[in-house]
Structure 1
């Protein structure tokens, strides 16, 4: 394949992986409106529901840590095909579970295939970045956010109109149609990249674990706002439910917007500078939210925080997939597992602390984690690209 055909294939691959991100976000977002039905259908308590959601997280982390080995052996395109098709059926399997034991097994599998697909699609996005010599990771995550918005937004209406089982089946069909396009056009990594690290082992380079810390500290704020911002506004400001709902909504809105602009920003200013500025913006927003005198100041501060958070995880993932001396799959497996552990583990710890101290000190403490990302930002240098010569017309 000549240089012109390689670039053309990479451009198709760029939109294919974007479609995969959308499909993953769509299936994940479609789970949210299923939760109330899931609770009443199985006649379980909120505590049991929390345990089942934890099982989802355990499945995701377990498959994420294993997926790097599979990608190193078979390449991200092949692994994406396996996990992508399985992920399309994940919500339907959960909706069909008739009792708690089978629901636990289905949640474990649902989390596993979603997590495995997550690692594979991020690894493939890194491969596209290498082919094109420019960033696409932030906008790819923007498509995930868009998919989650669509899935969550129309899910409740679909369930109310057609029932939870028809909704789950419809989500499966839509995801399969999208993936039918995406899986045909995903690019294949260079042979020597996919062949590395055939034996399953953890990377020995300590830098990859520091990048994982950056991802962890970048994702904890997202989980904090998602799970506790509304309660913070209700308990400490007396905000009504409608006002409290704006906390995560405004945060997610600014984050999604900037993710679609983030690649251009990063291509112009570089990964390190973008990450440093982003982490300071996020830290400032979180700090102001912790000291806010009114709920609307807190909402505005969280929206400002979303501007910074948007690009931090995509840059960390790009840095992971471009670490010298290791395959994209191996680096991505470590960093995604560490990063998503923050969303899965941190909310319970934050809830425990917030219950004893209030949530204002929690938001201030989380801002300190973002300062740590600022200090570690130099490790994102591997996410930058050296321009390659374009083929002559």
Structure 2
């Protein structure tokens, strides 16, 4: 294969993985406006809702734990194809659940498919970065945020005017169509990443776990906006469903814009400096959101939080996928699993606290977690991107 042909395939693969990021974000963002309806439809408390969202996290972490092994054996392209197609139906399965028991199973499956898709698409993005000899991780996450913005912005209106089931059906059709087209153009690793006998080994270097801890603290905060911002605006600040859905939409929309700019910012100022500035902005936005007396100020504060969080996760994932002495799939699996494991604790804990007080103090406390990431930023130095392109065949 000539160098020109290899680069053309890598360019197509770059847009293909961007399409997968877009579909994953669209599915996730479309879940946010479904949450208030989900709560009332099943007639459950906020604590029970937190436990159901907890099952989403359990499913995600279970899939992520095995994804590094699957990618090492079969490559990120093959794993991403299967998880992408299955994940397209996750929201519809949740919307069809008629009671709490079936909703619990549906949330487990939804989380598993989205979680496995997440590890595989980030690992494939690392492969594309190496093939193209340039960073694409932030802009790939920009497509995820763009999908989340579209899902959150349109979801509230669609549910209010056409119903939650019609909304879930259309979301599924769109996501499936995007994934089905994209998977034909994904690129693959040149060779297996690790030997078979190493499949259950955990990395020994502590840095990857510190990066994973930073991802955990960041994604707890990001997940709190996804799972609880709409309910916060609707129940405590008096917003209707359409306006409440704008909280996550504004958060994701600003994240999308900043992530498309993020690769250039990271290349100019460095990953560590960018991470520090981003964490400071995110903490400030979350703090103001928790103190907000009105829904519109809260929406603006969540948007500023999105401005900060935008490039934190891409930098941390890039650091995880570029650790020395391990494959990109293994490093990515550790960081994403630790990051999403925050979902195992945060939803039920937040639901329990909100049941006895309010969401405002919770968002203020989450700003403190982002300050911790600021203080740990130097551990993400492996995200100082250095190209390592695969040789042409």
TM bucket (normalised to shorter chain) is: 0.7 to 0.9
> Does the aligned pair in 2 maintain the 1:69–1:197 contact within 8 Å?
no
Alignment of 1:1-393 (within 5 A): 1-35=1-35, 43-46=42-45, 48-97=48-97, 99-155=99-155, 167-193=167-193, 198-227=198-227, 239-241=237-239, 248-289=248-289, 300-353=300-353, 362-387=362-387
TM-score (norm 2): 0.84
Distance 1:180 1:339 in 2: 28
Deviation, structure 1 residue 160 = 6.7
Contact 1:213 1:339 in 2 (8 A): yes
Number of positions where the alignment pairs a residue of Structure 1 with one of Structure 2: 388
Kindly report the root-mean-square deviation, in angstroms, between the aligned alpha carbons of the 2 structures. 3.4
Deviation at 1:84, TM superposition (A): 1.1
Secondary structure of residue in 1 paired with 2:311:
helix
Normalising by structure 1, report the TM-score.
Answer: 0.84
Cα distance in structure 1, aligned partners of 2:366 and 2:289 = 11
Tell whether the 8 Å contact from 2:133 to 2:389 is kept in structure 1 after alignment: no
Distance of 1:244 and 1:169 partners within structure 2: 21
Structure 1: gaps of 5 or more residues? none
Q: Aligned in 2, Cα 1:177/1:300: closer, same or farther, shift over 3 Å? A: closer
Where 1:72 maps in the other structure, the secondary structure is helix
Q: Is the 8 A contact 2:215 2:313 kept in 1?
A: yes
Instruction: Determine if contact 1:34/1:164 at 8 Å carries over to the other structure.
Output: yes
After superposition, give the CA deviation of every residue in 1:234-269 in whole Å (9 maximum; x if it has no partner): 89xx84426877655543332222112112211222
Report which stretch shifted further, 281-290 or 266-275.
Answer: 281-290
Could you tell me which runs of 5 or more consecutive residues in structure 2 were left unpaired when the two chains were aligned: none
Query: Residues of 2 paired with 1:353 and 1:165: CA distance?
Result: 30
Distance in 2 separating the partners of 1:79 and 1:193:
14
Structure 1 pair 165/355, CA: closer, same or farther in 2 (3 Å)? Answer: closer
Structure ranking higher on relative contact order (CA contacts 8 Å, 6+ apart): 2
Q: Distance in 2 between matches of 1:95 and 1:357?
A: 29
CA distance in 2, matches of 1:188, 1:27: 25
Larger CA deviation: 164-173 vs 265-274: 164-173
